[in-house]
Amino acid sequence: MGKFAIAAAALFVASCAAPVQHPRQQIDSRIRAEIWRTKAIDNHAHPMRATGLNDPDHEFDALPVEAMEEAPMARRLDPGNPEYHGAWRSLFSYKGENERNAAEAKQKAMRDRGDGYPAWVLDQLNIDVMLANRVAMGRGLPANRFRWVPFADALIFPLNNDSLGKRDPDRKTFFGGETKLLQRYLSESGQSAMPGSLDGYLRFVTSVLERQKNQGAIAEKFEVAYLRALDFGNPSKGDAERVYAHGGVPSDADYKTLQDYLFRYVAGECGRLGLPVHVHSCAGAGSYFDVAGANPLLMESLFDDPALRKTKFVMVHGGWPFIDGMTALLEKPNVWADYSIQTLLVSPRELSETLRRWLEFMPDKVLFGTDASPITPAVGWEESGWLSAESGRDALGLALTAMLRDREIDRRRASQLAQMVLRDNARHLYGWK
């Protein structure tokens, strides 16, 4: 063996033996310190109320995924993912790997902190304010830490939903839930029956949005991609009136006309009321989800409608996997994106590449988010929120470090971008001081 070969072999052995670095170790240390020090605004999550075991909380989502047919789960989201052990250690000082024991350690933390528990969880995640996408708020979710984002989907499905529910078992569950939620909105408005005309129905829709705003809502959420594709047309009011007046079980085409009209109406009213419209735009949970129908490009005609220019559209989950289209859409004056759940769908390294593209292109439109939500008793919104917040900070740190090393930005700008993504962009979007 020649000298060169010996040296090469030695190098090879040395490189094999080198400890594998966690991606976090590759983040510039000053950027890392700033990102972990900053108290974030979480643009999208499903925190749970401080409830006792006898008072289960079913209002953390209008379409709870636990009611869906069993389906394969993305690897990092799967509750068996050992990365969640880090959450148990960090939040509850539980160092083992047993799900049941972890759940017990969590129960103790809940008992110890009572109504202060949800805000205590935010403190552990270094999250200042979490947008709580819930049907209703409740105990332990104070408005200074948890801001309400209710659901508007039910408002665009006012007719008989039986035929839509026949498409697959998940939609059957979902449309059953939406029909019930619309009934709840009607009774909260003091109405015992559906209004007889479209104009009457539109007045009811406005009353729901105004009431939710008065009760503290800061945005409205559509998870409509679980129900139908995002390809909203622009039908005339006359056509929508005809379908509404006919009632009964509409044909799919007629019902789409009415839904399209109502979606635009809700979006327009949200613009008038200063409520940004959150839209689930991401491959969704379950095995029947229409991935192609969740492409944010399908909504381009709404973004470009001069009548909707005052409406702020926030593409929740940032359109994954349609990152190219989402990137281009950020150039619209009324479009934002958060990267909630991408934090758990892909690795921090892959997410950092998406963030880098967005930050190079439209840095004031990018929002931090976790999509913290319950999966099992041991992996609840606390654990998914912890892992998502850690991964989201890792991805942001990796993106800024790469931009710094390529001399695209200096340290001052890196710090500014970190603050924008973690806090300032959200503050500007929602008009907070």
Q: Which is nearer to Zn ion, 257 or 342 (CB)?
A: 342
Tokens in use for 297? Answer: 């490009």
To Zn ion, the closest distance from the beta carbon of 320 in angstroms equals: 13
* 313, 326 contact by CB (below 8 A): no
CA angle 113, 42, 34 (to 5 degrees): 95
To Zn ion, the closest distance from the beta carbon of 272 in angstroms equals: 26
Q: Which is nearer to Zn ion, 250 or 392 (CB)?
A: 392
Tokens in use for 366? Answer: 């990018």
Q: Is residue 260 part of the contact set for Zn ion (CB under 5 A)?
A: no
Q: x/- contact string, 380-419, with Zn ion (CB under 5 A)?
A: ----------------------------------------
To Zn ion, the closest distance from the beta carbon of 284 in angstroms equals: 10
Pick from 57, 371, 382, 394 the residue near Zn ion by CB under 5 A: 371
Taking CB atoms, the residue at the shortest distance from Zn ion is 371
To Zn ion, the closest distance from the beta carbon of 280 in angstroms equals: 7
Q: x/- contact string, 324-363, with Zn ion (CB under 5 A)?
A: ----------------------------------------
Give SS3 for 6: helix
To Zn ion, the closest distance from the beta carbon of 44 in angstroms equals: 6
Q: Outline where DSSP puts E strands in 188-300.
A: 220-222, 277-280
**What single-letter DSSP state applies at residue 318?**
G
Give the CA distances from residue 408 to residues 23, 37, 191, 367, 400, in Å, rounded to whole numbers and listed in that order: 21, 24, 58, 21, 9
Q: Which is nearer to Zn ion, 178 or 371 (CB)?
A: 371
Q: Which is nearer to Zn ion, 138 or 374 (CB)?
A: 374
Q: Which is nearer to Zn ion, 59 or 408 (CB)?
A: 59
From CA 287, how far away is CA 405, in angstroms rounded? 41
To Zn ion, the closest distance from the beta carbon of 355 in angstroms equals: 19
From CA 195, how far away is CA 76, in angstroms rounded? 46
To Zn ion, the closest distance from the beta carbon of 254 in angstroms equals: 30
Tell me the H-state helices in 292-366.
300-303, 323-329, 342-345, 348-361
Residue 170: what are its φ and ψ, rounded to 5°? -65, -45
End-to-end CA distance of the chain: 70
Nearest to 44 by CA among 350, 314, 332, 387: 314
Q: Which is nearer to Zn ion, 42 or 371 (CB)?
A: 371
* Choices 49-57, 158-166, 267-275, 369-377; region in contact with Zn ion by CB under 5 A: 369-377
Q: Which is nearer to Zn ion, 282 or 404 (CB)?
A: 282
From CA 76, how far away is CA 82, in angstroms rounded? 9
Q: Which is nearer to Zn ion, 27 or 366 (CB)?
A: 366
Q: Which helix (H) or strand (E) covers residue 277, if one does? A: strand 277-280
To Zn ion, the closest distance from the beta carbon of 298 in angstroms equals: 19
Q: Tell me which residues touch Zn ion (CB under 5 A).
A: 371
